Each structure stands twice: as C-alpha cells, then as structure tokens.
Structure 1
C-alpha cells in the first residue's frame, strides 16, 4: 500500500506523464483488404515502449519474427493503406485508423496482439477504436512524455501531391483533396489534434472509394473485405450507402484521419503543423522520413499538458522508442 502511495506521488509530480491503457481491449473484425476474420487485443505497456504490434500467429517463432514497432522506418507498403514490417519479412497492414486513435487519445505505449496480417477495418473509421479505448480507460505512467518539435519547414512534392511539416505550437493540420468526381470534387479542412472535439469531428469519418475502382482493387487482391458496412462507395453522381454521409466533407476528413495515423509513426507526439495536398500514405511517410533525416529540422523536448506545447528544456535523443 505504501509503495502505491509513493508511486502515485511520483506520477503527480510529472508535468505530463506518458500514458498507456488501463486494461486490455479486445477487438474482433474483418480485414478491409484481406477479408479475413481477425482477433486483436490492445494491452497496456511500460513507459518508453511505444506502440508495438505482435503477430500472435507467429509468436512461437520469437519476437524477431512476430514483433513490429510502429515507427516510420518500418513502413513497408503504402498502397491504399499503411503497412509496417520487420527484418524477418513479417507485416501488418491497415494500421492507420488504430494509430490515429492512439494519437488523438494520447496513448504513448501499447502492445497490439493480432492473429493476422491486417488490423480490422470495423466501420471504416477510428470511432470504434476510440470508444473501446475510452471505455477501458488510460493509465498515467511514472515517466515524462517527450515530443518532437519541428524547427524548420520540411516539404516533399510529387507532381500535384504535396506534404509538409512546419514549425508551430500544438499540432495543427490542414488537408485538401481534388477528385475528378462531382460528388467529391474539391474539399479542404483545417483542424487541431488537441481540440477536445477532434475525435468526434475527424475520427468518425469513414474510408471511401470510387465504384469504378473496385474491380481493379479486387484484381490485385485488395478490398476483399470491403462493403457498404465499412466504406463509403461513390458512384459517378451519387453515394451508394443508404445512410449517406456522416459529414458533407467526410472525404477530406478521412484523409486527415489517415494523415494523423501515418504521422503517429514518428514515435513521439509532433509539435508543429502538417499540410497535405492530394497526399496519401506514401507522401505522409516520405515527409516524416525527410524530417527525421534532417537532424537540424527537429529537436526532442519535454511535453507540457497545460498548453499542449513543449517545455523549453531539451530532452535526450534516446527518448524515441527503439526497435
């Protein structure tokens, strides 16, 4: 009992402690691209562990095969989703919606055990992940939270596609899309990750696709689990989902959701601003790699809960979760 009291006092003394889950979260569902039935459990993890995915179907072969840290340089594929992999060739795809939920809720450490190579798509958004994690609750850990402060602009471009990470306070995001489809067209949105309504306003937006692209995706083995239950399907002139859209601009909101999940692979919260124009998973990973490759473009600092900005005292580089 006395030890628990002492531990509680140490936690309260930390300005903004790292967080993990208060208890395990069980999630079952279908893989968007694989169509497989998937069982996943989110477990609490110790401080400085970061987010680690573990393939339980491969765990008997050892951690070198089964474990994959959710870090930007482990991104192995970015076709219609973000997949991470390890040196043994083990992969887990469609992690972005779960990672966005972790990021928005401030979950720094978790072990994700999963018995397949893809995270369940659920309703096509982060909403169910958010609900289940909030129901389980979060636990403060006896270790200070760190953040990556962006010090100078880093921009990557590919034709009309653009992704940028810029200096700023808190973490604000801007995204714009432009589709040659009258239902979607041009949409843009700006949001603040630390807005208390961010999860409701952004993370409820569902993934979407054009009806004309579905057969092409099937032909390359993708979207096998896709349906009107977990994606918005857009025809030339109309939405095919009977219930319609959750938001008039649900399409750009979901692209922003994807960006939050992709950028969570930085390993630590970001302090600054993200701007995306027609960007996708590949561009998001490229700009994150470009940022981390330029050591003069960022610093690691202690994170302040009060204003969601970084305290001036520089932290150690080793604060980024290791492999």
Structure 2
C-alpha cells in the first residue's frame, strides 16, 4: 500500500551552496499526493510544487525545483533519497528558505527523524513505473542506463576520480529500506579543496564546511574523523541517484547503471525515460493476503495503465 509519515518532523540548518539558514518541516499527506514542497515567505503567500519531471529547473551541482515563476527550492536530492529509500510515497515538505539544509552532508539525519515518527500505511495501492526497454544516456565517457528488472529497483553505480582516496569505486545492490539505512544514508557529499574558491566565486559551496562535506586535498581527506566507509564516495553518488531518480514521480521497477554520473546525468535518464511512452508502464503493487497474521505478496505487479505509443 501507499505510505506517508506517521507524524510531523522539524529540522533546521544551512544550505550547502547558499549558506542560508532554513527551517524544514515534513508532514503526512494523503494518498496520491506524492512529495510536495511548499516554500513559505514572510511577505507573500506560500508557493507549492509537486516533485515531478516538469518541476526540475536545474541539475548542475544540485537539483533545483520550480515553476514558471522561477526557482522555488534547491538541493532537494537528499530529502528525496530519504523518502524513496524508506518507501515514503506521500509527504508535504514546508521550507522557509531557498535551499534544503545540508545537515551533516548525508541523508542520515532525515532518516533518523523519519524513524522517530514512523511510516504509516494508507488505503490506496502503490503505483510504480515499470521500465519496459533499455533507456541510455551518454555524456562523453559518462553514461546512465535504465533496463527492465522485475525484482524491484536495483542500483549499480560506478565512479572514477584521479585521486588516491577515490580511484574507481562501485556500489551495487537492490534498494530496500534496510539497505538504504545501512549502506547509503550515512554517506556524505564530498568536494575538492582546489575547487572551493572557484565554486564560492560562482555562488556555490558557501555553506560547505568540514561538518557537512568530505573535503579532499592533494594527499587525502581533511576531515579529522576520516571516512564513514572506505568507499563513502560511491555510496554518496548512489544516494544522490536514488534522490534524482525519484524525480520520475513514482518508484521504479528497473535496474539503474551509471558510470561517472551526477545529478545532471541522472535526471537526463529520467527525462529520456518519460519522453518515450513505449519505454514504461505504470503498474500497481500486487494484492496481499493474510496467512497466520503475515502479509504475503501474491503475483507480480499488475498493469494500471499502459503508456501511450
């Protein structure tokens, strides 16, 4: 069944790029609401935007959502990853600043907050986007690819950086709430000391610090506590992919492979998928039956409506 939050959550922090403080509130929402951001202002009415392919305005160094009036909220990927990773289908997200707080640079604080209130089932069946044929986007040596996969959603993410602490790393696994909590949620964003001055001059990374970003210099990691995982870098790229692919608007039945990807490439794959109505179908979760108090899935996802061809 579809899910939502079982209670309200409040978080606070600064945005990694703008450095502006914001208050963030997650609230339960009705079935078929999806994830909706509501930006509140001191001098005007709130503006709302539903997470979808059409709401994406930029994906260069962060995912920015907006409408015809302009950008509404940026750096939404960690919140979207937490919702998708924990299986939260519907939520209202209120924010009073231009950027979702970076918190500790990972999705772990959001996961911990969700876990304090829990996830509630709703009365409507969950819908999925079932990928029917391969969709691939290439940008030079980088690529992202969605292929049919009937066992849920699988990630196979590979990165390559010319730095001794990173090199070539790969993460592969089927996404479940347990896998997301254990293997991905704690992985932090990262950057290079040599890029800081250039990024800040361009209006980015103004809220970045060793409290919320892994910083690499020419020799190693500057953060005194070191890494949370030996391959934390690829795990964070996989976390970002979970959040970026949530821009499809529904959870995926698919395998996602990427090499040297990022926000822009991840969204390009979503965009390419949804642009080809023969490449996917919307399916409903299977009916469930009760046997000795346990819920058992019966059958495969069933077609809700076919793509237009």
TM-score range, shorter chain: over 0.9
Q: Following the alignment from structure 1 to structure 2, what is the Cα–Cα distance between the partners of residues 35 and 312?
A: 44
Q: Secondary structure of 1:104's match?
A: helix
Question: Contact 2:85–2:177 at 8 Å: present in 1 too?
Answer: no
- The runs of 5 or more residues in structure 2 that have no matched partner are 289-294
Provide the TM-score with structure 2 as the length reference: 0.93
- The runs of 5 or more residues in structure 1 that have no matched partner are 1-16, 319-323
Taking a change above 3 Å as real, the CA distance of residues 307 and 287 of structure 1, as seen in their structure-2 partners, is: farther
Residue 263 of structure 2 corresponds to which residue in structure 1?
281
Residue 75 of structure 2 corresponds to which residue in structure 1?
94
Is residue 126 of structure 2 the alignment partner of residue 145 of structure 1?
yes
| Distance apart, 1:309 and its partner CA | 10
Question: Contact 1:177–1:188 at 8 Å: present in 2 too?
Answer: yes
Q: Following the alignment from structure 2 to structure 1, what is the Cα–Cα distance between the partners of residues 160 and 34?
A: 35
Q: Secondary structure of 1:143's match?
A: coil
Q: Following the alignment from structure 1 to structure 2, what is the Cα–Cα distance between the partners of residues 253 and 179?
A: 14
Relative to structure 2, which stretch is displaced further, 197-206 or 126-135? Answer: 197-206
Q: Secondary structure of 1:265's match?
A: helix
Counterparts of residues 61-210 of structure 1 (less than 5 Å): 61=45, 66-169=47-150, 170-194=152-176, 196-210=178-192
Residue 244 of structure 1 corresponds to which residue in structure 2?
226
| Distance apart, 1:277 and its partner CA | 0.5
Residue 5 of structure 1 corresponds to which residue in structure 2?
none
Taking a change above 3 Å as real, the CA distance of residues 32 and 115 of structure 1, as seen in their structure-2 partners, is: same
Q: Secondary structure of 2:122's match?
A: strand
Q: Following the alignment from structure 1 to structure 2, what is the Cα–Cα distance between the partners of residues 138 and 280?
A: 29
Residue 291 of structure 2 corresponds to which residue in structure 1?
none
Taking a change above 3 Å as real, the CA distance of residues 134 and 163 of structure 1, as seen in their structure-2 partners, is: same
Q: CA RMSD in A?
A: 1.9
Provide the TM-score with structure 1 as the length reference: 0.89
Question: Contact 1:30–1:225 at 8 Å: present in 2 too?
Answer: yes
Q: Following the alignment from structure 2 to structure 1, what is the Cα–Cα distance between the partners of residues 271 and 2?
A: 24
Residue 304 of structure 2 corresponds to which residue in structure 1?
315
| Distance apart, 1:196 and its partner CA | 2.1
Q: Following the alignment from structure 1 to structure 2, what is the Cα–Cα distance between the partners of residues 114 and 198?
A: 24
Taking a change above 3 Å as real, the CA distance of residues 226 and 307 of structure 1, as seen in their structure-2 partners, is: farther
Residue 21 of structure 1 corresponds to which residue in structure 2?
5
Corresponding pairs, count: 299
